[in-house]
Amino acid sequence: MKIISLEMLNIRSYQHQKIDFPEGSFLLSGDIGFGKSTILLAIEFALFGLGDISASSLLRRGQREGMVRLEFEINNQLFTISRSLQKKGENITQVSGYISTNGNKRDLTPTELKAEILKILGYPKELLSKQKNPIYRYTVYTPQEEMKQILLAKREERMEILRKIFGIDRYKTIRDNSDLLRLDLKRKASMFENSIKRLSEIKEEFNKTKEIVSNLTSNLKSIKNDLDELKTKENNLKVTYEKIEKEFLDYQNTIREIAVKESELNNTKESILRMELRINELLGDNKNIDIKSELASKEANFNNLLKNISKAKDQIKIINKNRIEASKLEAEIASKKIFIEKLEKDVKLKQDKMSVLKGDYSRDINAIKKEIKSLENIIENIHLRKKGINKELDSSMKMKEKYNKRILELRIESSETQGRINNLDKDLSSLNGLTGVPLCPLCKQNISEDHKNREIQRILQEKDKLQLKLMESLDLIKKLEAKIDEIESEIIEIIIKHVSVQKEKISCLQKTLEETEIYNSLLNEITQFKSEIEKSNIELSKKLDNYNALSLSIEELLPFEKEINLLEEERHNLQNGILILKEAVKINADIQDSAKKQIEIANILSHLYSKRTQLSGIEFEKKSLQESLNKLTQERIIKEREEAEKTREVKLLTERIKGLSNELNKLEKYALEKENLERISNWIDKYFIGLMETIEKEFMESLRHQFEELFSRWLENLLEGEDLNVFIDEDFTPHIRQEGFDADYDSLSGGERTSIALAYRLALNRVINNLVDEIKTQDIIILDEPTDGFSRKQLDRVRDVLDMLGMKQVIIVSHEPEIESYVDHVLKVTKRDGVSRVEGQEYIVNRKTTFSI
Ligand SMILES: Nc1ncnc2c1ncn2[C@@H]1O[C@H](COP(=O)(O)OP(=O)(O)OP(=O)(O)O)[C@@H](O)[C@H]1O
Ligand SMILES: [Mg+2]
């Protein structure tokens, strides 16, 4: 590891300081209490956190937050680690920090940071759970006041520390664990003890069972042989029995067949008897006739009879047909007669109606209609008051016209007279309006009052005359209008009178018209009915002729009806006779068949009787055979049961043997296992634990030897020329002999004690670094005041010692100015107003810092 830089914020006497570390050896110089040790503590804190250092001794008093950031390099990899402190109330704790590897930054908790740094530095993982870190404290950096502590500590304590540092602990752990393992193995072996006890017992049972099974197996074999023999015998007997059984069945069938055939024979005999009785019954006295020829002649007669019947039936058909036709004609004739009668009645009725009409109906109907039309025209014209229709009406109309004309003249006249009166009124009013001697409005001359009065008088006279005339005219108009009203009433009366005359004429004509029409239609109908009656009479006479002809033919054919009854009776008798003969013929044939069958059955029966005699002993034979077969089967079943029992027994015992064998195997395995466990346990006890002790001793001895060599060498170097001999005992306690005498550590001078302490430290450093390869802090050493109490001569020798160490980076803290001359660089630590500063970093002026503040 190579430390590159350190940055501190509020750490002890520092407020903010960044230090770039040079390569090689360098001195941190400065007065007491200036802040040298603080830098070293800050480095340790940055790497391992709190543990060996308390938080309150790190955070600058009066500050609430502090931070340390360390940059270092291992195997060309650049690491930055940063940790922070925070004060809450009176408590100061470490909060999360970060670690960055080649610029790859990760925020981690304090524990995570510690785990990561142990990994980076190659320190044992177990240190993670430990508060203190002896490897760093004894190989890289020992705080100044602890330098001599290892020498002053008690032997056991020292050995404890050294064991930890050298990793000798592990041998003790191996021994302890081995002992635990040995005990565990022993316990396991004793667990098998009880099970193994049963081993001989099971072995004995196993062998005994095997013997029983072997005996049972040979017994089972002989049973099987007996059983096979029995089965062969039984099968042979079964074959014979089956044959006999078949014969017995045959015998039984024969008996059954005999019974059947015997009953069949009896039935046949009975049936022949029945049939002979039936023939006698059918033929009666004609028993001896030739039935077949009789049947043939009867059948011939029957056929002839059938022909005659058919002929008669044809005739009867004709009669029936004629009868139907005659009855049809009868009905037609009757209906015709009714029809004619009805027509004649109708003619009579119509003739009666005609006799009621008494008028002259010779006139043409159209002429009457024309006359009615012209009369209707006259009525219309009268209503229209057309001239020339009626003289009386013409003269009244003329008179009315004359009076109307006169009224019109009088009205014109009256209106003129009224106009003249109006003019006179106007003149009067203008004359009455004149005052003084005015100009006459009429004659345009100056008029006098007299003249005016006269003129008024004249006008009034003229006005009276005119008014009289007007009155007369109006009176005359009234009189004329009354006259006209009278004439109008006369006219209306004339019209009514004349119109009613015409209407009378019309109604007379309409009556004549109606009656003429009725008369004509009745006449037509009567003529029509009469011709119908004539036609129907002709048809009726024709039908009557037909009917008479049919009646005659029916009468002629009537004998056939009587004949057919006789023929039918004959046919019935003949048919019966034929049926009887036919049955007799059939029964005769059946009798012959039955007789034949009777002979056949008798033959079969005689054959069956002889077979029954032959097989008569078979039943007994079958019974005795069955008995011996049953006996044999019983014997076989007993043997089979015996076989099954023995087989089951063998099976059960075989299973038991299997179980015992498994158990035996298991127990034998246990025994073997127990033996093994005991052997291993003994081996651990007798050899392995002893071996570990030896290895540990050997290892310690070799370490002690190395350590002693280095320790004496460093010490010799530091105390050159002094008569001081040292050796290290097995507890790593240095023993000093001064001038041939054993010397106590406390009796030595301060310088001598510091030299021994430094030599011890350096030797320790070298031995550990030689021992553990993977530790990455082998090439750095930090010495805080290692030269306390040294003489000038001794200080010179420190240089040689440091050269001999051959470290890449050596950090020395010292007040001694001599040391400045043999280190590569000097960093001056100063303090002003309670704040420390580091000076003398000019050698790194141009060096590029990897982080900014
Ligand atoms: N928590 C703190 N806050 C402020 N100052 C502190 C704190 N702890 C210690 N100091 C002071 O910081 C100063 C530097 O201490 P440090 O141990 O670094 O001194 P030094 O240079 O190593 O001295 P010496 O030569 O005596 O060993 C001392 O004056 C000390 O009392
Ligand atoms: Mg100090």
Helix or strand holding residue 465 (H, E): helix 449-614
Location of each CATH 3.40.50.300 domain in the chain: 1-140+785-802+809-853
Ligand nearest to the CA of 36: 1
For residue 35, give the ligand 1 atom closest to its CA: 18
CA 298 to chain centre: 97
- Rounding to the nearest 10 degrees, give the CA dihedral for residues 797, 802, 805, 808: -170
Helix or strand holding residue 81 (H, E): strand 77-88
Which residue did the predictor score with more confidence, 436 or 392? 392
Instruction: Using alpha carbons, list the distances in angstroms from residue 825 to 226, 692, 806.
Output: 118, 48, 16
Tell me the C-alpha distance between 17 and 60, whole Å: 13
32 CB under 6 A from ligand 1? Answer: yes
pLDDT at 218 over 90: yes
Q: What is the pLDDT of residue 853?
A: 32
3-state SS, residue 421: helix
Which token pair is 192?
A: 């098998």
Superfamily for the 344-587 domain: Helix hairpin bin (1.10.287.510)
pLDDT classification of 444: cutoffs 50, 70, 90: low
Of all protein residues, the one whose alpha carbon is nearest to atom 4 of ligand 1 is 12
Q: What is the pLDDT of residue 135?
A: 81
The model's pLDDT over 319-338, given as tens digits with 9 standing for 90+, comes to: 899 999 999 999 999 999 99
Tell me the C-alpha distance between 814 and 820, whole Å: 9
What mean pLDDT is predicted for residues 96-104?
94
66 CB under 6 A from ligand 1? Answer: no
Cα(666) to centroid of ligand 2, in Å?
73
For residue 57, give the ligand 1 atom closest to its CA: 1
Helical pair 110-121 and 36-48, crossing angle rounded to 10 deg: 100
Cα(785) to centroid of ligand 1, in Å?
14
Cα(714) to centroid of ligand 2, in Å?
24
Of all protein residues, the one whose alpha carbon is nearest to atom 17 of ligand 1 is 37
Q: Are 60 and 13 in contact (CB under 8 A)?
A: yes
Of all protein residues, the one whose alpha carbon is nearest to atom 20 of ligand 1 is 33
3-state SS, residue 11: strand
Cα(661) to centroid of ligand 2, in Å?
82
Q: Which amino acid appears at position 686 of this protein?
A: K
What mean pLDDT is predicted for residues 612-637?
90
Which token pair is 423?
A: 């003019």
pLDDT at 74 over 90: yes
Query: Which of 3.40.50.300, 3.10.310.10, 3.30.930.10, 3.60.9.10 is the CATH number of 1-140+785-802+809-853?
Result: 3.40.50.300
37 CB under 6 A from ligand 1? Answer: yes
Cα(12) to centroid of ligand 1, in Å?
7
The model's pLDDT over 445-504, given as tens digits with 9 standing for 90+, comes to: 677 778 888 888 989 999 999 999 999 999 999 999 999 999 999 999 999 999 999 999
Sign of the torsion angle spanned by Cα atoms 429, 432, 438, 443: positive
pLDDT at 556 over 90: no
What mean pLDDT is predicted for residues 354-375?
88
Of all protein residues, the one whose alpha carbon is nearest to atom 23 of ligand 1 is 33
For residue 61, give the ligand 1 atom closest to its CA: 3
83 CB under 6 A from ligand 1? Answer: no
Ligand nearest to the CA of 784: 2
Q: What is the pLDDT of residue 662?
A: 94
Neighbours of 718 (CB within 10 A): 27
When the pLDDT of each residue in the chain is averaged and rounded to a whole number, the result is: 89
Q: Among 28, 38, 144, 830, say which to mutate for ligand 1: greatest number of ligand atoms within 8 Å of CB.
A: 38
Cα(13) to centroid of ligand 1, in Å?
6
Location of each CATH 1.10.287.510 domain in the chain: 344-587
Q: Among 6, 34, 827, say which to mutate for ligand 1: greatest number of ligand atoms within 8 Å of CB.
A: 34
Question: How big is the chain, counted in residues?
Answer: 853
Q: Are 795 and 787 in contact (CB under 8 A)?
A: yes
pLDDT at 560 over 60: yes
766 CB under 6 A from ligand 1? Answer: no
Of all protein residues, the one whose alpha carbon is nearest to atom 25 of ligand 1 is 32
pLDDT classification of 442: cutoffs 50, 70, 90: low
- Rounding to the nearest 10 degrees, give the CA dihedral for residues 37, 38, 44, 46: -160
Q: Which amino acid appears at position 183 of this protein?
A: L
What mean pLDDT is predicted for residues 266-277?
93
pLDDT classification of 155: cutoffs 50, 70, 90: confident
Neighbours of 390 (CB within 10 A): 19
Ligand nearest to the CA of 13: 1
Cα(140) to centroid of ligand 1, in Å?
21
Q: What is the pLDDT of residue 436?
A: 61
Q: What is the pLDDT of residue 734?
A: 86
814 CB under 6 A from ligand 1? Answer: no
**What φ, ψ does residue 775 adopt, rounded to 5°?**
-70, 130
Which token pair is 535?
A: 């036609």
Cα(34) to centroid of ligand 1, in Å?
6
Tokens 């027509």 sit at which residue? Answer: 343
Question: Can you give the C-alpha Rg of the chain in angstroms?
Answer: 90
Cα(813) to centroid of ligand 1, in Å?
13
Neighbours of 139 (CB within 10 A): 22
Tokens 């058919």 sit at which residue? Answer: 310
* Nearest partner of 163 among 687, 688, 784, 771, judged by Cα: 771
30 CB under 6 A from ligand 1? Answer: yes
97 CB under 6 A from ligand 1? Answer: no
38 CB under 6 A from ligand 1? Answer: yes
Ligand nearest to the CA of 814: 1
36 CB under 6 A from ligand 1? Answer: yes
14 CB under 6 A from ligand 1? Answer: no
3-state SS, residue 850: coil
Tell me the C-alpha distance between 454 and 447, whole Å: 11
39 CB under 6 A from ligand 1? Answer: no
Q: Which amino acid appears at position 672 of this protein?
A: L
Of all protein residues, the one whose alpha carbon is nearest to atom 31 of ligand 1 is 33
Of all protein residues, the one whose alpha carbon is nearest to atom 11 of ligand 1 is 13
Of all protein residues, the one whose alpha carbon is nearest to atom 18 of ligand 1 is 35
594 CB under 6 A from ligand 1? Answer: no
Helix or strand holding residue 843 (H, E): none
Ligand nearest to the CA of 838: 1
Instruction: Using alpha carbons, list the distances in angstroms from residue 62 to 13, 18, 66, 89.
Output: 11, 21, 11, 12
Tell me the C-alpha distance between 535 and 537, whole Å: 5
For residue 34, give the ligand 1 atom closest to its CA: 21
148 CB under 6 A from ligand 1? Answer: no
10 CB under 6 A from ligand 1? Answer: no
Of all protein residues, the one whose alpha carbon is nearest to atom 24 of ligand 1 is 32
The model's pLDDT over 743-775, given as tens digits with 9 standing for 90+, comes to: 888 888 888 888 888 888 888 888 887 777 778
pLDDT at 514 over 60: yes
The model's pLDDT over 810-839, given as tens digits with 9 standing for 90+, comes to: 999 988 888 888 888 999 999 999 999 998
